[in-house]
Structure 1
């Protein structure tokens, strides 16, 4: 565990239980959200590459007009 995380946990322990639970829920939701994004991106690398290529084409087209 990092020093920063240990410090954050020490600070959390001083809070009332209801606030501790609220912050713990927020952290767990964030971790789960990150996991879902990682999973979604890992299943679609080709789609992401195509979208990036399209975005670059559009960007270059916009910039060549100016």
Structure 2
């Protein structure tokens, strides 16, 4: 049995209170992992093109003051 399958089975077997606690923990874990990946991508320049596009869109908006 794979580790993922074992984890899935264990999660399915959790009583409701423990499942709620696990869900809270996993949400925090997942958010932290996403934040870390975003920081790595930004540091590596992977978001530079998106930032440049956003700046260009902002500057081209006639409602914005120069």
Q: TM-score, normalised by structure 2?
A: 0.52
Partner of 2:51: 52
How far did 1:27 drift? 0.9
What are the residue-to-residue correspondences of 1:15-26 with 2, within 5 Å? 18-26=15-23
- Stretches of structure 2 that go unaligned for 5 or more consecutive residues are 1-13
Give the number of the structure whose residues are more often helix, by fraction: 1
Secondary structure at the residue paired with 1:64? Answer: coil
Larger RCO: 1 or 2 (CA < 8 Å, sep 6+): 1
CA RMSD of the aligned region, Å?
A: 2.4
Partner of 2:30: 33
Partner of 2:3: none
Q: TM-score, normalised by structure 1?
A: 0.52
Q: How many residues align?
A: 48
